[in-house]
Structures are given as structure tokens and as C-alpha cells.
Homo-oligomer: A and B are copies of this chain.
Amino acid sequence: MDQSRQDPAPDPAVKRLSLYLRQLESLHRRDVKTVSSRQLGESLRFTDAQVRKDLAYFGQFGHPGIGYTVVELIAQVRHILGTDKVWNVVLIGAGNLGRALAAYKGFTAKGFCLVAVFDNDVSKVGRKVGSFAVQPLAELEATVRKHAVRMAMMAVPADNAQDVADQLVTAGVRGLLNFAPVSISVPADVAVNAVDLAVQLEQLLFQVNTSAASKKSPG
């Protein structure tokens, strides 16, 4: 299906790929035509060797003596990540965070398309979130099938998270972006990516207090 597979492609490299893409898109908006591995890495605080090796896992995209041409590399990275196509997603949870996610422009800019919003709270069902009427979870499976949804964002209370995850898996969703502050269990063929806002702040606090600062998590 894809071109030049070699090694299994290390997981940390994939995480950085998204950040490279973000930089590249920024360069493109500023009409920059080519970029070197050093330039691409510097604002992210990655070494040039790191950038080259990461990209080389997926193919040979550079031009010796020149660097990488921005539009070309953008296309390649999008293809690798899969964002050269549009993917439908659903959102579970119409609380404060859920509504913010529904309104977030960044998702559509990356090619994701929200197709429905769900919540089991009867006081929320039927209310509008953006252009969507909140649906009960009973309608999840039908919507997932109809729109070929493979990913869901979960912005639900901790107590409901496992239950909601189970329903999503049953409905056929293959990837969960979990904002609830609990770890959830899913079958091995389902992917989970967790974003715990309080944990992020907690980790920042540790960095601040040890004042080692200016280390990991660039962005």
C-alpha cells in the first residue's frame, strides 16, 4: 500500500512527524520554498540529525545540497500520517470541553470532519452544539456505520469513560482520543490516545519547581 517501508518505524519518530508538518505548513504560509533539516528542527529544539533520521524512516524526501522542498515534504508527510484524506470523527460529551472541541477550527484545518455529537445526559440531548443536535448514545452505532467513522473524541466524566469506550468499540470505532482523567481498557486492535489536562499542568508544575525547565515537550 505504501512505498518504502524499511524498519518498523520507531514510535517517537511518528510523534515528531506531526510537529514537522506543523512547522512546514507555517513555512509554506510564509512562502518559504525549501528548508534544511537544521532549520526544520531548530525551533522545535531537535538536532538536524534527528530530523533527517526521522524522515528517512519513511523514504528519501530530501535533495542533497538543497534540503527539502516544502510543498513536496508536506505532501509526503500528510500521506504518511493519512491526513491527505478526510476522516470522519464523532464526539462524545457535550459539556464545556466537548463544546469547545466541537468548535475547534484546528481539526477541520487538518482534514478531520466532525459528523455527530453524542451525550447520554437527557438535559443535553437535542440541544444544539454548533450545527449539531446532540444525540443519545443509542444512535451511535448507526451513525458510525453511516459515516464510516473510525475515530472518536471522548470528553465525558471519568465515571462514564470506560462505559462509553466500550460502546464506541462495539460500534466499530478503532481509535479513541480520551480526555477523561482515567485510563481505559480497550481490545488490542483499538488505539487510545489520552489527553489529561490536569496531568499536563501537574507535570508543568514539577518542571517549574525543579526549574530545570526548558527541556522536553516542545511545541
Instruction: Name A residues whose Cβ lies closer than 8 Å to a Cβ of B.
Output: 11, 14-15, 17-19, 21-23, 26, 43-44, 80-83, 87, 89, 96-97, 99-101, 103-104, 106-107, 109-110, 112, 150-151, 153, 174-178, 181-209, 211, 213-219
Contact = CB atoms under 8 A, between A and B. Distances in A.
A127 to B, nearest CB: 16
Given A14-B203, A151-B208, A206-B81, A191 B219 contact: no
B183 A204 contact: no
A175 B197 contact: no
Given A81-B205, A183-B218, A205-B151, A213 B195 contact: no
Given A81-B206, A183-B23, A208-B174, A217 B201 contact: no
A207 B153 CA distance: 15
B215 A26 contact: no
Contacts of A150: 208
Given A81-B203, A193-B217, 20 more contacts: A11-B215, A17-B206, A18-B196, A18-B202, A19-B183, A22-B199, A82-B206, A96-B99, A100-B100, A101-B197, A104-B198, A174-B208, A174-B213, A178-B219, A187-B214, A191-B208, A191-B213, A193-B207, A194-B217, A194-B218
A159 to B, nearest CB: 11
B217 A175 contact: no
A198 B81 CA distance: 12
Q: How many copies of the chain does the oligomer comprise?
A: 2
User: What DSSP secondary structure best describes chain A's contact surface?
Assistant: mixed
Contacts of A192: 214, 217-219
A176 B205 CA distance: 9
5 contacts: A22-B199, A97-B104, A99-B100, A106-B197, A177-B200
Contact of A177 (B18, B112, B201): B201
A43 B185 CA distance: 7
Contacts of A194: 217-219
Contact of A97 (B14, B100, B189, B215): B100
